[in-house]
Structure 1
Amino acid sequence: MMSSQPMDLAELALDEAGSRIAAASIKTLDLAALAHVEPTPKQFIVPKFAPAGEVTLFTGPGGAGKSLLAQQLATSVAAGVSTLGLELRQSPALYLTCEDDADELHWRQKHICKMLGVRMESLAEKLHLSSLRGNLNNALGMDGKGDEFELTPAYTRLTEKVRQAGAKFVALDNIAHLFVGNENDRGSVTRFVNALNRLAGETGAAVVLLGHPNKTGDTYSGSTAWLNAVRSQFTLNHDLQTNMRTLTIGKANYAQMGDSIRLAWLDWAFIHEDELPPDTARSIEETARARTEDMAFMRCLAACTERRRNVSHQPGSNYAPKIFAAMTEAQGIKKSAFESAMERLLYRAEIELDVELWKGSNRHFKRGIQATDRNR
């Protein structure tokens, strides 16, 4: 019968031979030899964003274009052409999706190739696109008994594909299909990421794992173990008003955290902000400026409403654009810009004119501009 008493440490002692074997199993660096070797910096498959031999977490809200961008990066690596201002060295690449079908991949690829100036046929045996949509067994691993993490046949298939293709950039789209554990369980998440780190380390590939942010505003979903388990992470954010995106490094053990790239969606591909056609760039700039002016108008209107100061669309002592231009909340926006903003907001039914607001000291209603119900 097993004793319930703690085991005496002496019982764990090894004989001399066993001790040497146990100690030798933990390898340490030979600093004497390394002192005469010049160290090499971490290599990147995608400069700053995706280091070789590591798992990188790529997150962003739905509709931002993560899948499109991942396929574009894979194409650029496979073709050895620059994209979004990033200089890329040619290497085989693999983009695997569990959400889009083959027709969607083909559609995207045609437009990506057009944007990059690459012939699609030139990518044969260099770019590997795979759709697993509809497959029921896409999970790469699952928790077994105790703390065991059991790799699945899907992991074996992926590993062999990466090796046979010689892929150095591997984008996996996305976590929800490939990970079936509890995303709030640190142990489960860490074991899953470690399995992918093994694949990255053994093949030298940059493994980019796509995922969604959570509802609280974090750039990843579930446990913070996702961020802790990877060595790098970047996120794609979408400006819905201008169709511009910002690609930002969120975690970077091997690069500068906070570095970002501004890019635009154009004809089913992404292009760097500085490479936009003049007319398109001008249109985006005008849209962004108009949005800033509209937001300032609504901000000033809210401040006036809170202070019980009624403003009007009619020129006079309480003319809204004139009053707003002198307010701190205007942040330097001029009267003429507020006049344009007022017309846009009225057209979009975001403000109402000549509304009864509140009773003044003479018991008569003060009238003026008011935000519509959806903007209060």
Structure 2
Amino acid sequence: MAKHHGNHGDHGAVDPYSLEGLVQRHENRQLLLQRLSSVRQQIKDLEREVQDLEQTVQGLPYLRRSLPDQLQAGGQVNRLAAAAAGGVALPLAVGIMHPLDTVRTTMQATAGRGFSEAVKALGSKGVARGFGLSFAWASPQGAIRMASYETSKDQLLDKFSAKSFGIAVSAVVADFASSVIKVPRELITQRMQTGQYSSSWTAFRSILRQDGVGGLFTGYLSTASRDTPFMVLLFFSYEQFKAWKIRLTFADDVPSQLLAPMKPWSDAETVLWGGISGALAAWLTTPFDVIKTRVMTATQALTFGDALRSVATTGATGLFAGAGARSAWWFCVSSVFFGTYERLRSSFQQKLEE
């Protein structure tokens, strides 16, 4: 009897190296792979839900509404609200920091001139050159840029598995859309800042008379080479800061807390994140800005290649001329811009939804 049980046990065990054992191992592996694939899909679904939640909260950062209301709204930003907020925020930011921008332009246009030398050369009146036109034209530029950015982001974020790529493309689209205002604005402003013209109207007529409408877009290539990486860095870092804050805010919250009225971040945090994003993007793209300034302020036609070779011969000092002033300028501009934009956008959107 014992022998019978022993034989039965021997027959029950499958030799792992036999044909039957190999088939069984293969079936077990397939089962495990199916389960692993199912777990991976569940993780992807969960990540997508988290991203959708982050996008929803990011879209309406200042509205004191419950999360279900925000989810029902879809987190989408009204284009008119974005345009109105951008049209106010950009001229306000640019206007406040215009004197520092004039100093930066003077430093880059004249090789070897330091900050203190540029300030002395300009004087109290010189730092205000080009203020009127820069302030006025910044309004349509800001409106077009932010309406285009929010529209592109709403349309593109769901098209890419990597949200960062959608943000980058949206930033580039917004910049090119607003360049129809931005390039002539910067061209005339910088020529006034360097003392080539005494008024914006004189500059406008002179450029049209000498080079036609195309002359208003002198330096377009150099501006695009600067602003494409700049806008990607600016908006990507700013959106990333917001996403990190959301994750930290909700990391330890239970569902009941998540559904309560909330305000994920403060005005001070928006100002800080906007400033850091602007300063970082400004510093890294300074060489492109130096080239753009040389092209726009040259008294004779200067190509992108000629400006690049001229700047390259000066080494790192020339490539990063005015980097400190530019980074400080963009820190302040971005702080004022994003703080004002986020607040006005949510306020305008509330009015439009009522």
> TM-score normalised by the shorter chain: which range applies?
under 0.3
TM-score (norm: length of structure 2): 0.21
- Structure with bigger helix share is 2
- Structure with bigger strand share is 1
Report which structure shows greater RCO (CA 8 Å, sep ≥6): 2
TM-score (norm: length of structure 1): 0.20
